[in-house]
């Protein structure tokens, strides 16, 4: 059974360092209790170092994006060298970055390869937009995005890869995908992984993301190809995120520490 990876993507929240530190401290307590789950928080990059002092063991840290180059004239960017040692995960290709920051399939592929080369576990995010789903293009979009994201990897085994399926229409809307629809896409992603690296496909955690709450998490985690969640809004509420971690713990059959 795969160990669930439950990651909180804080996005551009909360607005102050004090709030970030208390949120991280509260999540650390919940993470200690969910010992069979890999708990990840992805605060704004500017606070990674300080949050690391509070998230002292049970919580892993992730960045929300990075550049693929190690250094250079890239104003406002963060390099994998700067993240290494500070974060262990990095979300790449989030739909908000594709939408607002011009991230392309090809660029996401370069970032995933760079993250792995620098010892960071990529959380490669893919997902169709509402109009794509309506047009029956979900499968084609997922196929294109997943293959592009993994194009720069020599092998998947040992890469630490996590794939997050986040339908864009489900993000921040309260309109989560049905567990069956999410499972159908997760299973498609697993099949692509199997085609690319048959031995490693079953190691890769596939997360669902998009309006995950403590009320629906357990149902997602019960799906055979869903191994955790990428959580936005609910990851800013420690009680709710703690309950999602407990759902992950329950799904894997453990009772925690």
User: Which residues are catalytically annotated?
Assistant: 94, 166
Query: Using the rule CB under 6 A, is 232 a contact of ligand 13P?
Result: yes
Q: Is 150 in the site for ligand 13P (CB under 6 A)?
A: no
In order of 3, 40, 88, 187, the CA distances from 100 in angstroms are: 32, 24, 25, 29
Q: Taking the complex as a whole, how short is the minimal distance between the CB of residue 94 and ligand 13P, in angstroms?
A: 6
- State the minimum distance, in angstroms, from the CB of residue 126 to ligand 13P: 12
Interface region with ligand 13P, contact rule CB under 6 A, candidates 82-90, 138-146, 185-193, 230-238: 230-238
Number of residue whose CB is nearest ligand 13P: 232
Structure tokens, 74: 């890239």
- x/- map, 90-129, ligand 13P, by CB under 6 A: ----x-----------------------------------
Closest alpha carbon to 216 in 171, 247, 250: 247
Note whether 247 binds ligand 13P by CB under 6 A: no
If phi > 0 it is left, if psi is from -120 to 50 it is alpha, else beta; for residue 32 that is alpha
Contacts with 144 (C-beta within 8 Å, 6 or more apart), sequence order: 105
Can you tell me the distance from the alpha carbon of 197 to that of 164, in angstroms, rounded to the nearest whole number? 18
Q: Which of 165, 193, 195, 197 is nearest to 181 (CA)?
A: 165
From candidates 80, 167, 179, 210, binder to ligand 13P by CB under 6 A: 210
Pair 167, 207: CB distance under 8 Å: no
231 binds ligand 13P (CB under 6 A): yes
**Which positions touch ligand 13P (CB under 6 A)?**
9, 94, 166, 171-172, 209-212, 230-234
């Amino acid at each position: 059974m795969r160990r669930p990876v439950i990651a909180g993507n804080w996005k551009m929240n909360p607005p102050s360092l004090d709030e970030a530190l208390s949120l991280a401290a509260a999540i650390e307590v919940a993470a200690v209790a969910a010992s069979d789950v890999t708990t990840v928080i992805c605060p704004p990059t500017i606070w990674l170092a300080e949050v690391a002092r509070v998230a002292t063991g049970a919580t892993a840290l992730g960045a929300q994006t990075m550049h693929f180059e190690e250094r250079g004239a890239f104003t406002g960017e963060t390099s994998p060298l700067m993240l290494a040692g500070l974060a262990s995960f990095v979300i790449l290709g989030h739909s908000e970055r594709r939408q607002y920051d011009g991230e392309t399939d090809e660029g996401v592929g370069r970032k995933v390869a760079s993250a792995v080369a620098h010892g960071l576990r990529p959380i490669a995010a893919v997902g169709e937009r509402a109009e794509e789903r309506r047009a029956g293009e979900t499968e084609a979009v997922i196929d294109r995005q997943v293959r592009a994201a993994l194009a720069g990897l020599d092998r998947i085994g040992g890469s630490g890869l996590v794939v997050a399926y986040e339908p864009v229409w489900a993000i921040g809307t309260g309109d989560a995908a049905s567990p069956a629809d999410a499972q159908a896409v997760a299973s498609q992603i697993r099949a692509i992984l199997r085609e690319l690296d048959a031995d490693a496909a079953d190691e890769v955690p596939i997360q669902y993301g998009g309006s995950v709450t403590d009320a629906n998490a357990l149902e997602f985690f019960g799906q055979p190809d869903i191994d955790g969640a990428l959580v936005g809004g609910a990851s800013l509420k420690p009680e709710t995120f703690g309950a999602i971690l407990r759902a992950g713990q329950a799904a894997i059959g453990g009772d925690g520490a």
